[in-house]
Structure 1
Amino acid sequence: MKNKFIHTIRWKFLFVFVVSVAGTALFILLSFLLGRYLLAFDPINIPLIWVINNIGSEPTAIVVGIILFLVIYYLLSRKIIGYLEEIMLGLHEIKQGQFDYTIPVHSSDELGMIAVQANEMAAELNRYLAEITYGLHEIAKGRFEHKIPVKLANDLGMVADSINHMSAQLSRSIQEERNAEKTKNDLITGVSHDLRTPLTSILGFLELIEKDRYQDEVELRYYVNIAYSKATSLKKLIDDLFEYTRMNNGLPLKLVELDMTDFLRQLVEEFVPYMENEDIVCRIDAPNEAVKVLVDGDRLVRAYENLMSNAIRYGRKGKYIDLVIGQKDRVVFVKMTNYGDPISDRDLPYIFDRFYRAEQSRSKETGGTGLGLAIAKSIIEVHGGTISVHSDHRQTTFETRFPVSC
């Protein structure tokens, strides 16, 4: 618009200049013809003869022409200059943010068109500014879903887009805070429930013993065994909870280069008695060459212990656990497959949540503490790895992936 405005002014003043020159030339020509005609009449010709003899016709024509040109140019340009001053004043007000200012439209020519366009632009900016202001009021009320339309490819459009991004980020932050609060409350609820249940049993049986409410030593030992078993479960829950909290609070890692094949073979050997008791065999498929990753072995063993325990607990019916170790595209993968009951599609998205048990049981035999898979996920992710699960009617596979050690 600025270039168009300057171009229009140039053409306007060029037009005034041409008209002024043409008018001056026409006036001098008519004056010359009139002067020749008047030379034949006395005494009218006396001043003309004096001017011609003493000054000269050409200097007189030049002086008169210059004066006449300036007068015509001033008279013709005065209106244009006045209108330009009005337009410039209006543009200055709009530039200062007075978008409700209206430039008067005095003509239908180019300057009038510029005034109309400037008014339309200011009105559009004023409407858009009102939309932005309304959007800010909505966001201030907590309605973060409100979106300000991004219509213009200028500073106001960038402001609107920035406000939308800010609102979305603020909404996410508030939602994350709410989720964190809910997570904290869920954690307290889960911990309270899981701690209270075995503790209640322990206190109950100890009360029977303390009040001598048993018939003989056999019944006393029975009560003691149950209390001991519940105390052991309680200790395991506290240990798991402590481990989960440590991992999520950024426990420092002692990274070393580790061969995943040797690491997992040794782990399986430690589970052999447990698997024999459940009549389960672990089959390992691994490459001959070393598959190395940079990990904290003490932390990682806890993750795979939990995965192995989970596979044995829920894979009893399948009789086999398949462990596949491999490397592809600079990624080391480990697939642990059991052939027991599948995980339902309803439970699959929540399988790594703390205190979540797919069968919704809190029994020691099948439910565990509900923290095993959550701990495994935390340990694997803190190493820069990922863990996923796939389950159907034939098998359930937990897959972990790590970047190859450089």
Structure 2
Amino acid sequence: MIRDKEIRAITEQIMKVTDHETFQPILTDSINKTVMELCNQLNHNFSMQKRQLAAYYDTQDSYRKMLSNISHDLKTPLTVVKGMLELVDLEHRDRETNQQYLHKIEEKVNDVIHMIHDFFDLNKLESNDTPMLLEPLDLSELSRKVILTHYDAIDQKQLTLDIDVPDHPVLVNANQQALERVLDNLITNAIQYGSDGKVIGLRIKHVAHRVEMMIWDRGKGIEALNQSHVFERLFTLEDSRSKDYSGSGLGLTITKRLVESMNGTISLESVPYHYTEFKITLNQS
């Protein structure tokens, strides 16, 4: 028989948990099997609620950080735009100087538009509103095509380009728009962060029934303690937040979501100033 005293003791402990969100385990000295099973089930439920609450707080912290960074990243280029507009003097300043100011304004406005597009794109990816349509694509041809769009930036920074891509088609099951975005993001990342190593590379190879694509550089890389965070939304290394770089801080987060939407994986290996590699693995078509 279950004694009233045992029930009252359990009830009092439940009230403490619900009133103060302490999530302390429910204890009993009863040897009654039913009472013991009840306590075990309550403790299991409280443990689940504790994990859910912790995840909720983590999400709230993430969104607060995201809003803070959005505010900072939007404020910076808009402040520059405001300052440049104040310097433009169509009546008294020479045309060439005004054109320089207007060009800088256009660059900063484009930065803001790019950031806003990134925020919307990530939101769309995480909402899973529409499934990713996959089809056979030639990764060799597509990678060469995207690399060519970055030729001016590579040439301007005087980088050596090391390409190891098969001459024959390498078919993967992917979405063309998503795969182009992944390639563009990773090559841009290598150029911006790895240029001090003076070489960037792209390699494609078959592994069993999968295809691996590696984009690498020999630049400053990423310290071990930061490597597990690079795919988190709005994570950027502090020394990369300079006036020479503009971005939403969502590039690698979007890249990871796109790769996963194509049933692929992405990983990072980095030894600063020696070798930094992002590896994409996709299903062979």
1:395 and 2:280 are equivalent in the alignment: no
| Other-structure match for 2:116 | 238
Of 180, 200, 204, which residue of structure 2 is paired with 1:325?
204
- The amino acid of 1:390's aligned partner reads E
Rounded Cα–Cα distance in structure 1 between residues aligned with 2:250 and 2:65: 13
Aligned-pair CA distance for 1:288: 6.8
Question: Is the Cα contact below 8 Å between 1:283 and 1:321 reproduced in 2?
Answer: yes
Distance of aligned partners of 1:159 and 1:235 in 2 relative to their CA distance in 1, 3 Å threshold: same
Which position in structure 1 is the counterpart of 2:47? 168
Are positions 1:205 and 2:122 aligned together? no
The CA deviation at 1:367 is 4.9
Residues 1:322 and 1:154: Cα distance change in structure 2 (over 3 Å): farther
Q: Superposed, which structure 2 residues align to 1:219-298 within 5 Å?
A: 219-252=97-130, 253-286=132-165, 291-298=170-177
1:347 is paired with a residue whose SS is helix
> 3-state DSSP class of the match of 1:350?
coil
1:300 to 168, 179, 186: 179
In 1: Cα distance, 2:28 partner to 2:255 partner: 45
Alignment match, 1:71:
none
Tell me how far 1:254 sits from its aligned partner.
Answer: 2.0
Q: Flag the structure with larger Rg.
A: 1
C-alpha RMSD of matched pairs (Å): 2.9
Which residue is equivalent to 2:214? 335
Pairing 1:141–2:141 present: no
Q: 1:378 to 1:144 in 2, by over 3 A?
A: farther
- One-letter code of the match for 2:236? R
Percentage identity across paired residues of the two chains = 26
1:185 aligns with 2:71: no
Amino acid at match of 2:85: L
For residues 5-16 of structure 1, the aligned pairs below 5 Å read none
**Is the 8 Å Cα contact of residues 233 and 364 (structure 1) preserved in structure 2?**
no
Distance 2:268 2:43 in 1: 37
State the match for 1:358 in structure 2.
237
Deviation at 1:310, TM superposition (A): 0.4
- Change in 2 beyond 3 A, CA 1:143/1:203: same
Is contact 1:332–1:404 with CA below 8 Å preserved after alignment? Answer: yes
Query: After alignment, is 334-343 or 270-279 more displaced?
Result: 270-279
SS state at 1:324 partner: strand
- Give distance in 2, aligned partners of 1:203 and 1:132: 64
Q: Which structure: greater strand fraction?
A: 2
What SS class does the counterpart of residue 269 from structure 2 fall into? strand
- Give the C-alpha shift of residue 140 in structure 1: 1.2
Q: Normalised by the size of structure 2, how large is the TM-score?
A: 0.84
Report the Cα offset of residue 135 of structure 1. 4.1
Shift of 1:153: 9.8
Q: Deviations over 1:375-397 (max 9, x none)?
A: 11121122232222121131111
Matched, 1:218 2:90: no
Q: Give the C-alpha shift of residue 280 in structure 1.
A: 2.2
Amino acid at match of 1:230: K
Give the TM-score normalised by structure 1: 0.61
Compared with structure 1, are the counterparts of its residues 148 and 369 closer, same or farther at alpha carbon in structure 2 (3 Å cutoff)? same
Given that 2:114 and 2:247 are in contact with CA atoms closer than 8 Å, whether structure 1 keeps it comes out as no
**Secondary structure of 2:236's aligned partner:** coil
Partner of 1:269, secondary structure, is helix
2:137, 2:173 within 8 Å by CA — same for their partners in 1? yes
Matched, 1:346 2:228: no
Q: 5+ residue gaps in structure 1? A: 1-93, 101-125
SS state at 2:253 partner: helix
Name the residue aligned to 2:247: 368
For residues 15 and 44 of structure 2, the distance between their equivalents in structure 1, rounded to whole angstroms, comes to 16
Q: Which amino acid aligns with 1:314?
A: Y
Higher helix share: 1
1:98–1:147 distance in 2 versus 1, CA, 3 Å: closer
CA distance in 2, matches of 1:303, 1:207: 38
Report the secondary structure of 2:211's partner residue: strand
* Structure 1 residue matching 2:88: 3-state secondary structure: helix
Q: Distance in 1 between matches of 2:68 and 2:127?
A: 20
**Contact 1:150–1:161 at 8 Å: present in 2 too?**
no
Q: CA deviation at 1:276?
A: 2.3
2:17 and 2:137 map into 1 onto residues whose CA distance is 52
SS of the equivalent of 1:346 reads helix
Which consecutive residues of structure 2, in runs of 5 or more, have no partner in the other structure?
none
Per-residue displacement from partner, 1:124-147 (whole Å, max 9, x unpaired)? xx4xx5664454234213445422
How far did residue 249 of structure 1 move?
2.1
